[in-house]
Amino acid sequence: MNNPPYADEQRNVIVGAMQDSATHRRELEDIMDALKDAPPEKKPSWFERGEKWLVKHKAALGAGAVIIEKALGVGMEHPPK
């Protein structure tokens, strides 16, 4: 059975989206790890980076964005007391 002529194109788009998704996930993991380990003077810049990441990906995350907001402490006082 032969694949339709557009099958390779679709596969490439799907694979590309999956790779982008993995890259974005790793970026968030890096931010979360840095927030755990960063000295207090570096945390504000990591919070800012996390908030920017969230704004960029909020539409795709849907309800999951709320969970990430809580994990990042978005809307909370930084550094937390």
pLDDT tens digit sequence for 21-56: 888 888 888 988 898 888 989 989 988 998 898 888
Considering only residues 27 and 64, tell me which one the structure prediction assigns the higher pLDDT. Answer: 27
pTM (predicted TM-score):
0.64
Residue that has been written with the tokens 């982008």 in this structure = 20
Q: Average pLDDT of 59-72?
A: 79
Provide the 3-class DSSP secondary structure of residue 52: helix
Q: Where are the domains of the chain?
A: 7-72
Position 66 scores a pLDDT of 81
Report the half-sphere exposure of 29 (CA within 13 A, side-chain side). 6
Mean pLDDT taken over the chain:
77
